[in-house]
Structure 1
Amino acid sequence: MKSEHDAVDLIGEAFGQQADVVAIPAQRLDDAFFQLRTGLAGTIMQKFVTYRLLLVITGDITHHTATSTALRDFIRETNKGDQVWFLQDPTDLDNRLARRPTNA
C-alpha cells in the first residue's frame, strides 16, 4: 500500500465483504508508511478510523522500529487503543480479537 487511494480501495473491498477488521502484512506497506514524517501512516490510519474498520498491521517491523524511537512510541500508544493494532502474527491477532469487547 503506497497511497491514500490504495487505502480507499481496500476499504471498499472490506465493505464489499462485510468485514470489520482488515489485516495487512507489514511487507505490503511502502517503507514511507513507517517513516512518520511522511504522514502516510496517519492518512491511511485515519481512513480506516473514519470508516470504523479495525486496521491491523501484522509482521516483523523491527527493522523500522530499530531506527526510530518515535515510531516505537507511536506503535506502543496505538496498540493501547481499539482502532489500529501492530501485531507480530495471526495468533496475536486471534488472541487480541478474543479479548475485544463485542460492541467494539
Structure 2
Amino acid sequence: MNYQIMEAKGKRYLYIKSKDSLIKSEQDAHDIISLCIEHDTDAVLLEGDSFSDDFVKLRTGLAGAVLQKFGNYIKVAVTIKEGQDFPVRFKEMVSELNTGNKFRIFTNLEDALNWILE
C-alpha cells in the first residue's frame, strides 16, 4: 500500500492514493489502522477511482465490517470520481454516513481534506 504522511493545519494524516479499487478486504482496513498507529495519527484521506464491488454490495458484509473497524479507531475521508453508479442501498448508507464524524465520502479532494482536518 503506497501512502504518505502529510501535515496541514498542525494535524498529521495518512494519505493513500490508489488507481485500483479502494477497500477490497477487511485486511485493507487492518493495514490502514496499523499505519495510523505506527505514524501516530487518527486521520486518513483515501483517494481513488471507486470502491471494490464487494464493498458496495452490502450483502457481502465487507462495508459493515470495515466501517466498524474504522469507526472504532480512526477518522476517514474518501474521495472518488463523481458519477459512480452505486447500488441504491449503498447510496442510502453513504447519505447516512456523510452526516457522521468518522467516515465520509466526497467527490472533491479539497472538501475531503477540509473535513479530515477539522
Q: Per the shorter chain, which TM-score range?
A: 0.7 to 0.9
Look up the match of 2:83. 62
CA contact (8 A) 1:34 1:64 kept: no
Matched, 1:76 2:83: no
Matched, 1:89 2:108: yes
Identity of aligned residues (%): 29
Deviations 1:3-33 (A, max 9, x none): 1122111110111111221122243742211
Structure 2: distance between partners of 1:13 and 1:40: 20
Structure 1: distance between partners of 2:56 and 2:83: 11
Q: Specify every segment of 5 or more residues in structure 1 that has no aligned partner in the other structure, as ranges.
A: none
When the two structures are superposed, what TM-score results if normalisation uses the length of structure 1? 0.78
Give the letter for the 1:54 counterpart: K
CA contact (8 A) 2:46 2:78 kept: yes
Equivalent pairs, count: 96
Give the letter for the 2:53 counterpart: D
Q: Specify every segment of 5 or more residues in structure 2 that has no aligned partner in the other structure, as ranges.
A: 1-22
When the two structures are superposed, what TM-score results if normalisation uses the length of structure 2? 0.70
CA contact (8 A) 2:42 2:75 kept: yes
Higher helix content, 1 or 2: 1
